Amino acid sequence: MRFFLNSNKQDQPTAPSCPSFKSSRLKTRSIALTAVLWALFQLSTASFLILDSIKIRSIHLAFAVFLVFLTIPHTKTPLKQKESGIAGWLPLLDIILAVSGAFFSLYIQLDWEGLSLRAGDPSLRDLILGSALILVLLEAARRSIGPSLPVIVILFSLYAFFGAYMPETFAFQGVSFRKYLSQVSLSSEGIYGIPLGVSASIVFLFVLLGSMLDKAGAGQFFTRLAMSVLGKYKGGPAKAAVVSSGLSGMISGSSIANIVTTGTFTIPLMKKVGYPAKKAAAVEVAASTDGQLMPPIMGAAAFIIAEYVNISYLEVVKAAIIPAFVSYFTLFYVTHLEASKLGMKGLDKKDLPDFFAELKKGLHYLIPIFILIFELVILRHSPELSAFRAIMGLILITFYQEIRKSVIHGKTALSGIKNGLYIIKEGLISGSKNMLGVAVATAAAGIIVGIVGLGLGGMITQLVETLSMGNIFLLLLITAFASLLLGMGLPTTATYIVMASLTAPVIVQVGAGFQFFIPLIAAHLFCFYFGILADDTPPVGLASYAAAAIAGSNPIETGIQGFLYDLRTAVIPFLFIFNTELILYGVTSWLNGVLIFLMAVLGAFCFSSVIQGWFIVKVRWFEIAPLLLASLLLFHPLVFNRWLQLPRDQRYWMYLPGLVLMLTVYLSQLHRQKNNPVGYGVKL
């Protein structure tokens, strides 16, 4: 039951009779048991256990806080007994914090009726326990996701208290300590608000499904299947990395989880066919980061977006589907351009797995995904019920898989059942572990949401409008930069919650002043996209560090290269803000949707060719402008309609100029390649 995030094998005694060894083993088992119980609790609330939402949220947070303090040390550098007399007390302190933190989290449900009667006028006990919950939660957030979010929460809290003493431009009337606690930790508006509610009711189940699929072997299956199809082509391992990361990202919703799952296989293969270590790692970073764009999980934010915008989950998926696939198709194209520039070849067929053999061995991994999609799209069941049934199907498949393996290897069916139980147990533990950062981040970010609800939001809205001078373009740039800056130290979900709370309504409002109708979901997706891109933005970019460790490259250089690859993703949010058809807003015909998607893909190809400096052959300076203009017209055919005044039913004719420009550059480069084929790579 390897659930240690802070295990140190050098410090563990080897003698079985040693008390500290027994204590360590007891702690390991306690952590594993708690993790399993948390997962089982979440499964029960999705099926037969009916509880009030505030109870589910508080129990969810109690489990998360308890496990954070037992699994994540207070510091990355452990204290040695010889240097400090307090080192021996630290495990005891962690246990005290774990137990007390769980109690503070549960207090709201233990005395919910009393708190409701005392709303706005909390007792001394309420104030003490509410304050203790905030302090413990901030420490749990610091341990699990770093100091950035706690620092931001503290700054917002200080602003709420002392805003009246700020300069006039930044002045805020301020709130009392009682009102602050009543909103933030003693009601369902702050810590126990929508973000934590979505984490408790929906996100956990999807993360659990992804973790269990990974433990069952689905991650390796996706990677080997992609390699069997694409490995023989130019830059094949990089293309396989894109496809396998996209498939894994659909179920994991985590860029780092994608990297450690698929990157350990694809990065060495990319280096083998000629990719420099930096570029091999950067491709995996870009592919894994964009995995959070892929429905159904979308980095856990899809469900929070649905709650904030007050639309169905399927509407969020509908809005996200074209940008996500355009981003992935274009990254696939970028790997081809890189391979062309480097003159690469594919792997030998003898080095590749057989497609049909791999498909036969792992076809059953697709069944839970089909169950999930069928439940969500066809039967229109809730995300909770759909994920629960997919997990139940996966459990049955896991038992079938392990029993079949045991019989093939001459063992008993009982041995297969034991193996199946072990895989399921490890999947439950892994799912709980992967949820620690999400649960704590959503709870801590809820403090900011609660403070904004106290009236600070209106002042911040006015401040953001002042900084942007009422200009929608400048406002979008400020939001994008702030999201990247925040996201360097925060998980994607927390970054999205903070930025969407502060800027999404302002984007809609300022856009209306510019006579641009910007749907609220477009503003929320804009914040979400740039929160994702922060995962590979230097100097922090955690995804870059994970991939660089596998590739043996410099993490900063890897992050810069990965961000260059992700520039094609960075332009998409700006475009769907002004062309809402890219998120299928108002598009009713599926034929129109397909046309919009195909044209957007070609537009992204043109833009990426400019960034990479390569189309069929090297892009010359006079070809840059036609490619950029073609990209703009293919993404947004009505960009010049203020002057042309075309009827809306004729807007698709405006794709033609973009296609003509792209074709002109293509024919020009094709002619150059025929006349001088040496060093020009291969025809696309």
> What's the whole-model pTM score?
0.82
Give the per-residue pLDDT at 256.
74
Check whether 616 has a pLDDT greater than 50. yes
Q: What is the mean pLDDT of residues 300-308?
A: 81
CA dist 78 and 6 (Å) reads 9
CA dist 552 and 550 (Å) reads 6
- Evaluated on CA atoms 385, 391, 395, 397, the torsion sign reads positive
Give the per-residue pLDDT at 9.
37
Determine the residue type at 664. T
Check whether 79 has a pLDDT greater than 70. no
CB-based burial of residue 684 (10 Å sphere; 0-12 exposed, 13-18 middle, 19+ buried)? middle
Q: What is the mean pLDDT of residues 458-483?
A: 80
Check whether 2 has a pLDDT greater than 80. no
Give the per-residue pLDDT at 421.
95
CB atoms within 10 A of CB 187: 22
Q: Residue 256 phi/psi, 5° resolution?
A: -70, -40
Give the per-residue pLDDT at 482.
82
Q: What is the mean pLDDT of residues 533-540?
A: 72
Nearest to 540 by CA among 492, 495, 490, 499: 490
Nearest to 308 by CA among 163, 523, 484: 523
Give the per-residue pLDDT at 111.
86
Question: Which range (189-198, 203-212, 410-419, 647-656) has the least confidence?
Answer: 647-656
Determine the residue type at 409. H
Q: Which residues, in sequence order, are bridge partners of residue 614?
A: 618
* Whole-number percent of the chain with pLDDT over 90: 32
Give the per-residue pLDDT at 341.
85
Side-chain half-sphere of 149: how many Cα atoms within 13 Å? Answer: 35
Q: What is the mean pLDDT of residues 246-257?
A: 70
Q: What is the mean pLDDT of residues 375-401?
A: 90
CA dist 146 and 73 (Å) reads 12
Check whether 506 has a pLDDT greater than 60. yes
Give the per-residue pLDDT at 438.
86
Q: Residue 618 phi/psi, 5° resolution?
A: -60, 135
Q: What is the mean pLDDT of residues 86-102?
A: 79
DSSP-assigned letter for residue 263: I
Q: Scanning the structure block, which residue is given the tokens 């007050």?
A: 310
Give the per-residue pLDDT at 87.
46
CA distances from 106 to 99, 109, 373, 640 (A): 11, 6, 35, 57
Domain ranges within the chain, ordered by starting residue: 9-145, 587-684
- Evaluated on CA atoms 270, 211, 401, 383, the torsion sign reads negative
Angle at 129 between CA 123 and CA 135, to 5 degrees: 135
Answer whether 61's CB lies under 8 Å from 104's CB. no
Question: Which range (21-25, 169-173, 394-398, 418-422) has the least confidence?
Answer: 21-25
- DSSP annotation string for 233-287: STTHHHHHHHHHHHHHHHHH--HHHHIIIIIHHHHHHHHHTT--HHHHHHHHHHH
Give the per-residue pLDDT at 285.
87
Check whether 409 has a pLDDT greater than 90. no
Q: What is the mean pLDDT of residues 55-69?
A: 96
DSSP-assigned letter for residue 681: -
The size of the chain, in residues, is 684
Answer whether 270's CB lies under 8 Å from 303's CB. no
CA dist 411 and 304 (Å) reads 47
Give the per-residue pLDDT at 646.
63
Q: What is the mean pLDDT of residues 423-450?
A: 91
Question: Which range (224-228, 253-257, 401-405) has the least confidence?
Answer: 253-257
Give the per-residue pLDDT at 28.
84
Alpha helices by DSSP H, listed for 312-412, are: 313-342, 355-362, 366-373, 383-408
**More confident: 458 or 684:** 458
Determine the residue type at 75. T
Give the per-residue pLDDT at 210.
84
Give the per-residue pLDDT at 603.
95
Q: Residue 614 phi/psi, 5° resolution?
A: -150, 135
Check whether 67 has a pLDDT greater than 80. yes
Check whether 548 has a pLDDT greater than 70. yes
- 422: confidence class by pLDDT, cuts 50, 70, 90: very high
165: Cα separation from own chain's centroid: 38
Q: Angle 19-45/413-451 helices, nearest 10 degrees?
A: 80
Check whether 113 has a pLDDT greater than 80. yes
Q: Which residues, in sequence order, are bridge partners of residue 618?
A: 614
Residue 9, both tokens: 């094998």
CA dist 419 and 408 (Å) reads 14
Query: What digits encode the pLDDT tens for the residues 324-366?
Result: 899 989 999 998 898 888 877 777 888 788 899 889 888 899 8
Residue 390, both tokens: 């997919």
3-state helix, strand, coil in the chain (%, to 5): 80, 0, 20
Give the per-residue pLDDT at 648.
62
Give the per-residue pLDDT at 649.
62
CA dist 609 and 527 (Å) reads 26
Determine the residue type at 66. F
- In this structure, what is the dihedral angle of CA atoms 282, 283, 286, 291, given to the nearest 10 degrees? -140
Check whether 485 has a pLDDT greater than 50. yes
CA distances from 561 to 363, 553, 558, 620 (A): 35, 11, 5, 22
CA dist 432 and 419 (Å) reads 20
**More confident: 1 or 398:** 398
Nearest to 134 by CA among 169, 113, 160, 170: 160
Answer whether 244's CB lies under 8 Å from 254's CB. no
Give the per-residue pLDDT at 56.
95
Check whether 7 has a pLDDT greater than 80. no
Query: What digits encode the pLDDT tens for the residues 133-186?
Result: 999 999 999 998 888 889 989 998 998 888 878 777 677 777 889 999 999 998
CA dist 583 and 597 (Å) reads 10
- Evaluated on CA atoms 321, 640, 637, 290, the torsion sign reads negative
Q: What is the mean pLDDT of residues 291-314?
A: 79
Check whether 414 has a pLDDT greater than 60. yes
3-state secondary structure of 614: strand
Ranges 28-42, 439-453, 487-501, 580-594, most confident? 28-42
Give the per-residue pLDDT at 524.
92
- 240: confidence class by pLDDT, cuts 50, 70, 90: confident
Alpha helices by DSSP H, listed for 452-536, are: 457-468, 472-487, 492-513, 520-533
